[in-house]
Amino acid sequence: MSAVGYLTESLADAAFQVIEEKIVTLELAPGSRVTERALCDLTGFGRTPVREALLRLSQGFLIEILPRNGILIAPMDFEVIVMTLEVRRHVERLIVERAARYSDDRDRRKLDSLRAAFQDATDRGDALAFIRTDNLLNQTLNAAARHPVATKVAQPLHSVSRRMGFAIGRANGAGFDVTGPGHQRLIQAVVAGDVPASLTALDELLDAVDALKQIYSAMGEPRAF
């Protein structure tokens, strides 16, 4: 896929978005190994942006760079999923509070446009469209919060949750009817600039995401498709 539709600033950013999505959507299977050259061929990016993207990804929970032995796509570790959700509750409260307080008209227009996208993906049970919209929401909230430290902490946590959500949604369609409306309520509250309502909506959304991990724990290790 191309980088169109992402909030990117450079080729390295675009390569990061494309590779991250291929991991989140299980096109690059958990536990598999891949080479830098294969990723260049798969994404259409050159070695420099791919290498920079991999270095950034290696700081999170999706890959491990193995010297002279390629790149390991991290298995979906249930304990890591649980721990990242715990941290998200703290970091995202800061992001959402600041987004509700400091978002400008441009931020609010972007956020508002995502409500219909969530509804459409939920109605169609489209796992790929849903996680792409979720990614755009995360990026837009991060930008609106104007807190680069919180953003840097939150991004790899979001990736873990989105990979879990995609695996569940692809397997049985579960979760979209719960988290879709939750995302929309969060957007509505942030656009209104209502900090208490935004934080309540976030807590309810994360409660729903937290419940999904029990569904995931009953599933076998997802595979690529």
Q: Examine the domain organization and report whether 110 and 41 are in the same domain.
A: no
pLDDT digits (tens, 9 = 90+) for 84-129: 999 999 999 999 999 999 999 999 999 999 999 999 998 888 889 9
pLDDT digits (tens, 9 = 90+) for 44-60: 999 999 999 999 999 99
- Residue 5 in domain: no
For residue 65, what are the domain limits? Answer: 11-73
Q: Examine the domain organization and report whether 82 and 67 are in the same domain.
A: no
* pLDDT of res. 5: 42
Q: Examine the domain organization and report whether 50 and 109 are in the same domain.
A: no
- Residue 3 in domain: no
* Domain final position from 20, 39, 73: 73
Question: pTM higher than 0.85 for the full model?
Answer: yes
Q: Examine the domain organization and report whether 164 and 202 are in the same domain.
A: yes
Instruction: Write the single-letter amino acid at 163.
Output: R
Here the CATH number for the domain that contains residue 142 is 1.20.120.530
- Residue 69 in domain: yes
Q: Examine the domain organization and report whether 166 and 67 are in the same domain.
A: no
- Residue 225 in domain: no
- Residue 25 in domain: yes
* Domain final position from 56, 73, 90: 73
